[in-house]
């Protein structure tokens, strides 16, 4: 989230104050790539928690085949 705000501020400065300066556009592109990588890594770790530990959204444990709580 912090990287997104920084990228947004850099893009505003690049667009309106520096009139699309090339070095600023390169910096914004690099920060966007870093932001994309961090979101990808966070998603990967979230998926690992679901599959390895059985932890779903908000930290709730998922129902597994070992614990059938269905009413018959």
pLDDT digits (tens, 9 = 90+) for 7-29: 888 888 888 887 767 887 888 88
Q: Which domain holds residue 51?
A: 2-56
pLDDT tens-digit readout, 52-69: 777 777 767 776 665 555
Residue 41 lies in a domain: yes
Please check the confidence at residue 3 and state whether its pLDDT lies above 60. Answer: yes
Domain total in the chain: 1
24: how many CB neighbours lie within 10 A of its CB?
17
Please give the Cα distance from 41 to 61 (Å, whole number): 22
For residue 65, what pLDDT is reported? 61
In a domain, 45, yes or no: yes
For the whole prediction, is pTM greater than 0.75?
no
The dihedral formed by the CA atoms of 56, 57, 60 and 62, expressed in degrees to the nearest 10: -30
pLDDT at site 66? 56
């Amino acid at each position: 989230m912090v990287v997104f705000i920084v990228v947004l501020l850099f893009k505003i400065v690049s667009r309106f104050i520096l009139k699309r300066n090339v070095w600023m556009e390169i910096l914004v592109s690099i920060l966007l790539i870093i932001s994309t990588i961090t979101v990808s890594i966070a998603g990967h770790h979230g998926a690992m928690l679901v599959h390895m530990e059985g932890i779903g959204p908000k930290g709730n444990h998922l129902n597994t085949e070992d614990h059938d709580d269905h009413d018959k």
